[in-house]
Amino acid sequence: MEQKYRKDKKSLWAIQAVINELSPKQRFRRENVLLLGLWYGKGTIKMSAFLKPFKDEMKALKEEGGVTRVGPSGELIKCPIFGIMCTLDAIAKCKVQELHQFNGAFGCGFCFHPNLPVEGSGLRYVAVQSDGSFLQYPERTHEKMIEDGLLAFELNAAGKLVVSKRGNVETKDHVNGVLGLSVLADLPGFNSIFGYPIDYLHQLLEGITSTMISLLCDGPQNSQKYWKNHKYDVSTLNRRIKEIRPPRDMSAEPKEVTSLSEWKSKDFRLFLLFILLPAFCDLLGEAYYRNLKDLVIASYILLSDSISREQLREAERLLQEFERRFNLLYGSASVTYNLHLCTHLCRVVQFWGSLYGYSTMVFESGNSHMGRLVKGTTGVVTQIARKHLSVQCVSNAIHEHPVSKKVLTFCSDIMNYRYAKPSTTFDDSIRACGNARLVELSEDEVCAATAASIFLPSNSMSAYRRVVKDNVVFYSASSMWKNPKQPNRTNQFDDTCVSLSDNSFAVIENFVQIPDSTELFMFVKPIRVATEGHLAPHIFTCAADMFAPLKLVQCSTIFRKCARITFKNGSRTMNFVSPLPNMIEKD
């Protein structure tokens, strides 16, 4: 992490870590993120000095047995600790890996791409030959990286000049881009190539997605050639974006493309996975839209919580085709380091799993949190360390000891701690939040219960607005929960759309508890999906008569939350539905 302070021109770097053996939902909670080191000062940080104490401690923990836990039979078991990966942004990765800057010669940490010169644009990761075929370069290996690092270290220590020449490109002071031996090279169990996985936040979201938006929406003079019939219509695009209401799990209200400088990673993620294809569906030229489609489908696959070998091969094919076509459509001058990393993305996923498992999102959130802890310019490191530990201690105490609602509210106000409100538990995975409200069933709801062969002792039953299933929050769409003081207000989020265990889609109308039943039920409006014309394998076009008659089903049939994309297109309303790729990533 790097946090800069403009007044004194100092920067703050932090080492944060998570424990891989925790479940993903627990692993990325703020109180489970470990703060292992802080550096604050002027000038450029020396990574070898900053990371050496951490590396020495990790080696000692391995040799001494790490941590001790109690086994199933009561025996004490010593568990070694390994540092298996180091997730960084591109600038920090070059510093830690002892590589040339990513935009310099041989700056890729995965292959020997020389970064070819392009007239008027400096060095670029050109991926297409003159005949249109895809360019591929030899891949780096752990052994070769160590060998090059040792050679560079020895030559630099001797004061000799290192010259490397590949093709027509000559670079100096490095061996195949390697400037020396990384401080983490001898960390037990650490791979010098895949130990530095690609962070999709900086590469895919803030890198490629941002580049695509800039290219396509850079004003009529520069971008109209990419639009259908050369008709640049960014106002229609912005209007469609503003009409979309995403799930809370995808976070903030969608932002206009003309305010790109204000976007955060969550905005890019929402736009890439769910908005880009529907919003551009009839605005872009066919070749440019197909290029975007390859990127979106591959990204969704690589962010899924379950990826088959066939899906991984398909994602690799799509990304390679995306990179090749991008070169041809936008020119070699637009091919950046982030775009080149698409070549290696699937290999990283094959090695480590889905991209969300090692993104820097949780650490970027930690950076923001630590920045808020600083209240003065004196003793910055001490301020952060003391307050960070205080927050962790308070959070652990709240989990371990019963405390009053007044204490929970106080902690929430000063530490942004989310506490659980009153709830009713129906089984291990389903919890109804808040107080129930007694409702009278409508005629359609009674018919839905009769069709489901569910006996109703009376037409009065308890209803809930919000339900948590498997730690995911779902809301009711019923108008009965609207604020009477603001009856016409539209919520900026939509958490009512779900996919069910029978692979169908539905909108939740209300959660109800039937008298004398231990199960929680819900009235849903099934969504009819068109038989053809889907934008992508995960983005389904809804039929013209979108909703089927009301149904009553058990809450246990909820399989996944979905995003419902709805906007006006002239006199028509366009409706699409898409399951979220995973339920681990949350704002």
Beta-carbon count within 10 A of 8 CB: 11
CA distance 81 to 59: 9
3-class SS letters over 83-126? CCCCCCCHHHHHHHHCECCCCCCCCCCCECCCCEEECCCEEECC
Two tokens, residue 107:
């700056």
CA distance 215 to 232: 12
What dotted CATH number matches 422-579?
Answer: 2.30.30
3-class SS letters over 10-35? EEEEEEEECCCCCCHHHHCCHHHCEE
Q: Which residues contact 275 (CB under 8 A, 6 or more apart)?
A: 241, 244, 254, 565
Q: Looking at the DSSP assignment, which residues form a beta bridge with residue 467?
A: 432, 474
Two tokens, residue 318:
């799509």
CA dist 216 → 202, 207, 230, 496 (Å): 20, 15, 12, 32
Beta-carbon count within 10 A of 177 CB: 28
| DSSP state letters, 271-331 | IIIIIHHHHHTTTB-HHHHHHHHHHHHHHHHHTSS---HHHHHHHHHHHHHHHHHHHHHH-
Per residue of the chain (587 residues), give pLDDT as tens.
455 444 567 788 889 999 988 888 788 887 788 889 888 888 778 888 899 999 998 888 877 776 777 777 777 777 788 889 999 999 899 999 999 889 888 999 999 999 888 888 888 998 887 777 778 899 999 999 999 999 988 887 777 655 555 444 444 567 888 988 999 998 988 999 999 999 999 999 999 999 999 999 988 888 889 999 888 889 999 999 999 999 988 767 899 999 999 999 999 999 999 999 999 999 999 999 999 999 999 999 999 999 999 999 999 999 999 999 999 999 988 999 999 999 999 999 999 999 999 999 989 888 888 888 888 778 888 888 888 777 777 776 776 777 777 777 776 666 555 555 677 888 778 989 888 888 889 999 999 999 998 888 888 888 999 999 988 999 998 865 666 555 555 578 899 999 999 999 999 999 999 887 788 999 999 999 998 889 999 999 999 889 999 999 999 999 999 999 999 998 889 999 999 999 888 75
Q: What is the pLDDT of residue 311?
A: 97
Residue 415 and residue 394 in contact, taking contact as beta carbons nearer than 8 Å: yes
On the 0-12 / 13-18 / 19+ scale of CB atoms within 10 A, 363 is: buried
Residue 359 and residue 87 in contact, taking contact as beta carbons nearer than 8 Å: yes
CA distance 3 to 14: 9
Tell the residue number behind the tokens 């006199």, with chain if given. 571
Q: What is the DSSP letter of 209?
A: I
Reference 52, options 186, 179, 153, 223; nearest CA is 186
Q: Which residues contact 22 (CB under 8 A, 6 or more apart)?
A: 32
Residue 587 and residue 252 in contact, taking contact as beta carbons nearer than 8 Å: yes
Q: Beta strands 558-569 and 497-500: pairing type?
A: antiparallel
Tell the residue number behind the tokens 């770097």, with chain if given. 13
| Number of DSSP helices (H) and strands (E) in the chain, helices first | 18, 22
**How is the chain split into domains, by residue range?**
221-357, 422-579
Q: Looking at the DSSP assignment, which residues form a beta bridge with residue 505?
A: 499, 527
Residue 505 and residue 473 in contact, taking contact as beta carbons nearer than 8 Å: no
237-244 contacts, C-beta under 8 A, 24 or more apart: 237/279, 237/280, 237/283, 239/567, 239/568, 240/278, 240/279, 240/567, 240/568, 240/569, 241/271, 241/275, 241/279, 243/566, 243/567, 243/568, 244/274, 244/275, 244/279, 244/565, 244/566, 244/567
Residues 388, 389, 395, CA angle at the centre, nearest 5°? Answer: 95
Q: Which residues contact 106 (CB under 8 A, 6 or more apart)?
A: 99, 100, 112, 113, 114, 115, 164, 166, 171, 174, 176, 177, 178
For residue 375, give the 3-state DSSP assignment.
coil
CA distance 584 to 301: 15
Give the distance, in angstroms, between the CA of residue 67 and the centroid of all CA atoms in the same chain: 31
3-class SS letters over 231-242? CCCHHHHHHHHH
Residue 432 and residue 511 in contact, taking contact as beta carbons nearer than 8 Å: yes
CA dist 137 → 124, 256, 566 (Å): 14, 39, 44
